[in-house]
Amino acid sequence: MPVDRTALLAALSVAVAVVTAGCGSEPRTPAPTLTMQSAATTARFQAVSVVSERVAWISGVEGTYARTTDGGETWTSGVVPGADTLQFRDVHAVDAQAAYLLAAGPGARSRIYKTTNGGQTWTILFTNSQPEGFFDCLDFWSPTTGVAFSDQVNGRFIIMRTTDGYNWSRVPQENVPAALPGEGSFAASGTCLVTYGDSSGWIGTGASDTARVLMSTDRGWTWSVAATPIVSGEVAGIASVAFRDTLHGVAAGGDIGSPETFSDNIAVTLDGGHTWQLAGRPTFSGAVYGTAYVPGADVPTLVAVGPKGASYSLDDGTTWTSLDTLNYWGLGFASPDAGWLVGPDGRIVKVSLY
């Protein structure tokens, strides 16, 4: 039977189209664009909380915060009244109007503030009453359900919870593993504690002989702990944790006192934090202060920052590519098209990966 070449080519075209549709398109190769933005302040920014591609909040020292509602085209900065000597090491944004700020410091300098009107007014929700306490970070599962973490006092961590967005109470000591001598965390980027999904959370620690990760699956009511192979010591350990689902995550940090040194400062988990293995080192030296996965990226994309630069990984931290060499402390992403890196002197850099 003679072959109808036109019909055959048409059939092949349909088949190729079907296969292509089923397999999806090839992942794009990142070609990052970095754009400097300004919030008209020279205060050091340390933490970022991103609501969407248009709405993000930043916190920093000297009682400073900043907010954008137009994707960073403009930023409005301010100083919380009466808090100009405090260091806001963490921020959690609910939306364009509501956000929480965590001030980190010894004793009563550790506080939690909240605004519901875009920063026009702020309410103090919590003031640390333990003179030796030092709160490092906070995060939320919902607009009103969250958790905050302090370095250990007398061998016990202080973990505070809220279920209404206003009142905070301490998690019972019997629900939290005992701390190692000197163990705490590093209030660098506000990512030493992260939540994921409806009820999972993780806290990275250091400043002792082992860098560890605390884990919760019930919105911070009970916690377990696992050791990691990350370098540890008096000024070394985990400064940041990030998870892309309830199983796959990264812990990062290093030796904060050795900014020119490369060390074993990245570890990954495939089982929700129960076990950890060393991964590759970022392209910059010194400690990693902040990490974040990029929502909606073509492949799981992880970004890490520190005072010596910024790097990204497309294979869960196995290999890294340089993103920048400027000094950064914190970061946050809404999508591959909208992420922000922040640092000293009011530095804000918007990142688009593709």
φ/ψ of residue 161, rounded to 5 = -125, 150
Residue 14: what pLDDT? 34
| 25 pLDDT tier (thresholds 50, 70, 90) | confident
Q: Residues 203-253: pLDDT tens digits? A: 999 999 999 999 999 999 999 999 999 999 999 999 999 999 999 999 999
Q: Residues 285-322: pLDDT tens digits? A: 999 999 999 999 999 999 999 999 999 999 999 999 99
Which of 139, 148, 159 minimizes the C-alpha distance to 49? 139
Q: Residues 44-72: pLDDT tens digits? A: 999 999 999 999 999 999 999 999 999 99
Q: Residues 137-185: pLDDT tens digits? A: 999 999 999 999 999 999 999 999 999 999 999 999 999 999 999 999 9
**Could you give the angle at the alpha carbon of 299 between the alpha carbons of 92 and 200, nearest 5°?**
40
Mean pLDDT estimate for the chain: 94
Tokens of 326: 């400027």
| 24 pLDDT tier (thresholds 50, 70, 90) | low
Non-local CB neighbours of 54 within 8 Å, separated by 6+ positions: 68, 69, 70, 71, 338
Q: Residues 315-347: pLDDT tens digits? A: 999 999 999 999 999 999 999 999 999 999 999
